[in-house]
Amino acid sequence: MSSRPAAGGGRWVEVDPARVARWVDGFADRHGPPTTTPLGYGLLLTAPDGATAELHTPPGARPAADLTGFVGTATAPRRLGLLLARKGAVAVGVAAGDDLVVSKVDTRYVQGRTAAGGWSQQRFARRRDNQAKAALTDAADLAVRLLLPAVSTLTTLVCGGDRRAVDTVLTDRRLAPLAALRADRLLDVPEPRHAVLVAAITAARAVHILVRDPA
């Protein structure tokens, strides 16, 4: 479980789906038995002391009207597409439940920034831009080969890394059916590697909970 401050107050907590019921029990112990309200994002828990917890349905899971249903749909195995892109590196995969069943990682060199000025700096900038564009083209080709054939079996596509790089990859017209499945969640990942892709499965399936304590 991880936690981070939330914009506008409160904190975001990421919980493994199998631990959600236990987390809610702890919330009730601290703040009193909450009422449960189904909303568009998932469930709102409101405790007697004014504390609230927004349980956001994880990508690809079905909406639920109560906690039992929420836990059931969050823990259910489902097929997720994964697309991680950052600079010259890309990782794509298909996860069935917690298992990575299809995967490929590709790294392409992209020129680093230079401190030189004038014409030399412009030349290096053009070279870097061309290398980055070529890397993203390769990334789109990789997604076409590995993800597109599986698109009819996926419940959603979860992306991670640099948003601009991911957006650029998904503008490829061939990937329109995949882009239509894209989840709102963007995973914060380092440069994509196989281990990063494996870890992304857990992050993609996690339940995000926005907790606000009583005033």
- Asked whether residue 115 carries a pLDDT value surpassing 70, the answer given is no
Q: What does the pLDDT look like over 126-139, one tens digit per residue?
A: 555 544 555 567 88
Domain with 53, as residue range(s), is 2-77+206-212
pTM of the model: 0.86
For the stretch 30-82, pLDDT in tens is 999 999 999 999 999 999 999 999 999 999 999 999 999 999 999 999 999 99
Cα gap 101→89, rounded to integer Å: 20
Considering the domain architecture, whether residues 40 and 115 belong to the same structural domain is answered as: no
Same domain, 88 and 186: yes
Give the whole-angstrom CA distance, residue 66 versus residue 63. 9
Which positions ≥6 away from 105 have C-beta within 8 Å?
A: 89, 90, 91, 192, 193, 194, 197
Give yes or no for residue 109 having a pLDDT over 90: no
Report how far residue 87's alpha carbon sits from residue 135's, in angstroms, rounded to the nearest whole number.
8
| 119/185 same-domain check | yes
Do residues 165 and 67 both lie within one domain?
no
Are 10 and 20 members of one domain? Answer: yes
CATH assignment at residue 86: 3.30.420.60
Pair (71, 88) in one structural domain: no
Q: How far apart are CA 169 and CA 184, in angstroms?
A: 16
Q: Are residues 67 and 109 in the same domain?
A: no
Please give the tally of structural domains in the chain. 2
Are 22 and 116 in a shared domain? no
